[in-house]
Structure 1
Amino acid sequence: MSDFNFETEAIRNQLERSQFQEHSTPMYLTSSFVFEDAEDMRASFTEEKIRTIYSRYSNPNTSEFVEKVVAMEKAEDGYAFATGMAAIFSTFAALLSSGDHIVSARSVFGSTHTLFTKYLPKWNIETSYFDINKPEEIESFIKPSTKIIYAETPTNPGVDLIDLELLGKIAKKHHLLLVIDNCFATPYIQQPIKYGADLVVHSATKLMDGQGRVLGGVVVGNSDLIREIYLFSRNTGPAMSPFNAWVLSKSLETLAVRVEKHCENALKVAEFLESNKNVSLVKYPFLESHPQYEIAKKQMKLGGNIIAFEIKGGIEAGKKFLNSIKLCSLSANLGDTRTIVTHPASTTHFRLSEEERLAAGITPGLVRVSVGLENVIDVISDLEQALNS
């Protein structure tokens, strides 16, 4: 790992140039790689010799992408996946056994919740949820079979926060693994490993790509844990494609400048929403009204690009608002150059029961905004006319 600053590392951390002396890393769209002779082939497969063998195991493009994220998160090693959910599933599948237990924040992405409640129980892996607003209760959920503490911060979609330093201390005290989904913040805004996280997960589809083009996921952290995740993934095949890795590695070169602008726009939008008479609640980490504002200022460099707000009038008012949007996109994605408005209860978290949604802070009228890179005046004007409709 070099001593370069974040932006320089993202741009200058590249593969070694080929004989063609290219300035920008080329794509390696090949499924396999050749060997010099039988001994080279044998030594490569037994890992006596570390080299690229097959793109399901590794590829020069995925290696470059992973190396950049490893440097950004101050991690030891990493592995890239086809999607963010592939990264999350593979992490748990590789590290847990039948009878193990997870302690997780209740506020998690809908598909992660489904993984915890529908699929992992098939292998006798249990999950207990704690309220992210009651961190003092976390230790009461820990039992002898607990292996992992898991959380998103900020959460999806309620934009709640949890103290990473506190989680790190609890995990260390009980000899547990701490896994943090850092998707909303990106490594530019916060680095959970500094606070004791063993592994950090990202959906690279979001702000890492930043332009709604490709899918991807990545896990970085402790090298011994990554080794287990790699071996599981090498045999089960959720690997990232070389093309997507090439796109994402190039995207990381502009991550800092993009995230700075996203956050600048988001704070202005949040301040507008807080002043609008048709909005009853706004949650954005860098608004002083946010319940965990002090935590945000302690562990986050900026507030991120996601805002959650509640429209007065409930579900019907929310539907009318969405139907009145003209400029912003109605989509379930986030972290795009384009501002996206989502109604979580009917999209990303619709599979949850109403009781489960309410427990996670997802009310019927909750709206999530992923603020993009348009001129913020235009974004605010669109939101204002939709709210006033």
Structure 2
Amino acid sequence: MLEGKNIILGVCGSIAAYKSALLVRLLVKAGAQVQVVMTPDAVSFITPLTLSTLSKKPVLVNYYKTETGEWNNHVELGLWADMLIIAPATANTLAKMANGLCDNLLIAVYLSAKCPVYFAPAMDLDMWLHPATRQNVDKLQSFGNTMIAPGIGELASGLYGEGRLAEPEEIVSFLSSELKKKSLLAGHKIMVTAGPTYEAIDPVRFIGNHSSGKMGFAIADELAGMGADVTLISGPTAQVSKQQSVKLINVTSAAEMLDACLTIYKDAKACIMSAAVADYTPTEVASQKIKKKDASLNISLKTTTDILKTLGGQKAPGQILVGFALETNDEETNAITKLQKKNLDFIVLNSLNDAGAGFKQDTNKITIIDRNLQKTTFALKSKEAVAHDICLKLAQLING
């Protein structure tokens, strides 16, 4: 998977920099073109001569070549690279990346890069666990950068715990897996819906539900990670996509979500409808805030358009449509009925009776039922891991 790839390897000032020699050798052996960029402090831990010999390219450290004054063009480097890997990534470099503090060539290349960015942290246990480091890591991941998690073991300080740079073989394997994953849905346009809808009663009140949008955003991010061209249509939510390539359309009501879906759906290869769309909306919306009275208040409701059923009725040959069923009783029976009535290719069932599943949770427990009524039940997992299971099922259908 790495053959022919242009890779920039950023090496920072860490005792773990000695592992970068083997990492360069493994990347070159895999057929990649490797350009090493070192921070000024990194040269104290491993020599540029070692890495230039292994990479067969001059190692870059400064903005310009001292002897000639020639500029090491960080913009061209950022455009040349198919991927940027920073390993080891120190706490200092992570902080600079997260906050755009550009005081060396490596950070200039990072800020110019158009390619996927991977970072492999290496530091002592207490530094790794510090809230500032955790915040910087979260921030980098929110930018769409991918972390290669540190290992657990003996550290340079003598402590034992998390913070060791992943082994070079693990890094190469991780990168190969990422590239393979990105090829699964490359070139396919996929629509995802997420979050609740809010149905206005008056200018300040609405009918809604407890959906946080976490599941839908996790699915959109996972699809983008598999190489898909993703459009995410979301109701009101505080969630933020971790993949910069995801196109976000914000809506509020079920009617607005329907309009957005009808616009995008006709060009989509697949659609995963994870939004919790309101079933009812007020017949009339008051133009002014309804004042509280001693008497009871009755609100007349009408049904919203069933978006999933509408899309199922318009589904073209080869299109794939996926729905969700959040149930509290007769779970499988209700899910299968929904699967068949709405012309779905598979349905994702989860039950509010399962601890850790449902709205606002960081975890979920699902059963996937396909149109042949074959069931696959999964254990309780993080919503990111659940998203992977769902998207892998979709990729299998798309790729036959």
Q: TM-score range by the shorter chain?
A: under 0.3
- Normalised to the residue count of structure 2, the TM-score between the two structures is 0.24
> Which structure is larger by alpha-carbon Rg, 1 or 2?
2
Larger strand proportion, structure 1 or 2?
2
- Normalised to the residue count of structure 1, the TM-score between the two structures is 0.24
Larger helix proportion, structure 1 or 2?
1
